[in-house]
Amino acid sequence: MPRRRTALLLGLALAAGVCGACGAPSRTPSVARARLAVMAPAAAETLVELGVADRIVAVGDFVDWPPVLAGLPKIGAYDAPNAERLVELGVTHLFTTASEAGRGDPARLGALGIRVVALDTSTFAGTLAAIAETGREVGREAEARALLERIESRLAAVGERAATAPRRRVLVAVGHDPLFAAGPGSHLDELVTLAGGENVARDAASPYPMLALETVLERAPQVIVDSADNRPGNPRGLAAGFWRQWPFLPAVSEGRVAFVDPWRLLVPGPRLADMAELMAKLIQPELFGQPRPEDFGPPQAPEGAP
């Protein structure tokens, strides 16, 4: 995943809004005959997980996962899907993100007979609701319910196991120079709390605030989860890296700085429970075990996947 993906993921998180369908035509085709285009990485993962990858005929410029979607026609950026190309491909449903980044022109697409489904995955509740809505849109309600049951069961298990552990102060960095962190209202904040942590940016004014370095140093995080950069050559795994400049931070002195590929944590969807379990390993390894080396890099396709 090239460098631009990191900025994109952070930008989407900063702009996340409300979910729902908009610009829908008065008559929609049978879901069995639906031809889908997807702009949002989280929606792409959900559609594949629900077993309708064969209905996806186009993807947005920033959708390059799961691998089964490789090679499909690209239809532009979030705010400017190529309407002419969508019509050429016979697209009936466009899945995008409910954010400023994904606004585009739903009324125009609706007039062309394309149903726009805008999904909010910025929080746990939004992510789970988005999976259910996606299932309804593509006629996979039962599969969506089963997926949600698995996710919720695993989330509950993490919460129960971490409930009695001592809370550790945690910083989740999503940008450097300036420093951006996960704040209240973000799914990352919820992951930290569920996994037995206390977010050092818990009192910020937005879900992804810019933090003064002085604030971070003063609050002395005991765990730093850094998903700010995915360029080749940057550290992955448990390493002081960027943070070695401040050896007095407990996270640095105690070896609890983790560099994690943004794709592991910043795109909530069907992998939400995976994210919770990874965060728990980073914050409470005594309870959940140490993460594996492969847990820090980009997600891998399951064995046997195309």
159-179 pLDDT tens trace: 999 999 999 999 999 998 899
- In the numeric block, which tokens belong to residue 106? 């739903």
- Whole-model pTM? 0.85
Which of 61-65, 92-96, 108-112, 276-280 has the weakest average pLDDT? 108-112
Give the rounded percent of residues in the chain with a pLDDT score beyond 70.
Answer: 83
Q: CB neighbours of 235 closer than 8 A, spacing ≥ 6?
A: 241, 259
4-154 against 164-296: fold identical: yes
Give me the CATH code for the 4-154 domain, please. 3.40.50.1980
Q: Is 259 left (phi over 0), alpha (psi -120 to 50) or beta?
A: beta
pLDDT at 73 over 60: yes
Position of tokens 């186009």?
58
Cα(139)–Cα(299) distance, integer angstroms: 27
Rg of the Cα trace of the chain? 20
Q: What pLDDT digit, counting tens, does each position of 183-197 carry?
A: 999 999 999 999 999
Q: What is the dihedral of CA 152, 158, 163, 166, to 10 degrees?
A: -150
164-296 is a CATH 3.30.310.50 domain: no
**pLDDT computed for residue 234 by the predictor:** 74
Q: Where are the domains of the chain?
A: 4-154, 164-296
pLDDT for 99: 58
pLDDT tens profile 95-116 = 998 854 445 566 778 788 899 9
